[in-house]
Amino acid sequence: MITARCIWQQAAHNAFTDLIWFRQALWCVFREGSAHVSADGAFRLLRSTDLGNSWHSVALLSASDADLRDAKLYIQADDSLLILGAGALHNRQQQSHQSYIWQSADGLSWSTAIPVGEPNIWLWRIARQPQIQQYFAVGYRVGPNKLVRLYQGATAQRLQPLTDLISGSYANESGLLFEPDGTALCLLRRDPDSGLFGYSQPPYTNWQWQDIGCRIGGPQWLQLADGRLLACVRLYDNLVRTSLCWIDRDSGKLTEWQALPSGGDCSYAGMVLQGNTLYISYYSSHEGSSRIYLAILNL
């Protein structure tokens, strides 16, 4: 049984979430702005020390020169917290977008923005391969000459291009996982085409891709202890909704499992598994304005 409730609705538009377990608390980050696309996008960070029952705002990150979008949380090997996000720049004479990292030792005090990656490449999410102690991220080019590129670095702040994954079609948002044996898995959105499931062995320069059978948005996923792949995505068939879906490791096909209370402008989930309890942050506009929700499911 899924329980879901709104945890934030103070801005005109609240969207694009991520969720992490850090220092014995749940942390949720999302974009606040006056609209889905607007010049005033900023990152609001909430913390819950009681497993999602109550939430308190602990930080707000903004930029005078950019609309901040799609914040993602990551814990570094030194137990510090990172936010990875993109800035849609106001002045586009030299470039339109830049990815940034913000660092914090405690989640409360944050560094200034650190540019990462290449201009006009939107880095989506960081993952670490623990066996080789390397950080990876998948990014997509904004503008003409579409491509999706894999980055690698000894630190999250020093990501360098490793290989191009997909070119031509408008592939963009992604989820990146590493299995215990080192296999890399990628769940990739394409528009308007159906999404892709990809896998690669080290050194991650040769990828195999399978069509998942439907169009998705805002992909996030995790691997359960039994090896199953559970994703949370936006589905576009019939009524647009945010749903938990299984990804078949052999065929790459996506099967919807449970829809979350959602509709319209929605999705972009964060997922945290604590024991058998799955916590999911997402946004939705099914109750009017775009709001932030937390769903809890006992697996």
Q: What is the CATH number of the domain that holds 71?
A: 2.120.10.10
Residues of the chain with pLDDT under 70: none
What are φ and ψ of residue 156, in 5° steps?
A: -65, -25
pTM beyond 0.95, yes or no? yes
pLDDT at 195: 98
pLDDT at 168: 82
Q: pLDDT tens across 58-113, in order?
A: 999 999 999 999 999 999 999 999 999 999 999 999 999 999 999 999 999 999 99
Nearest-angstrom CA–CA distance, 241 and 96: 30
Q: Calculate Rg over the CA atoms of the chain.
A: 18
Q: pLDDT tens across 150-168, in order?
A: 999 999 999 999 999 998 8
pLDDT at 169: 87
- Say how many domains are in the chain: 1
What are φ and ψ of residue 157, in 5° steps?
A: -80, -10
Nearest-angstrom CA–CA distance, 46 and 110: 14
pLDDT at 59: 98
* C-alpha closest to that of 230 among 243, 212, 241: 243
Q: Which domain holds residue 119?
A: 2-298
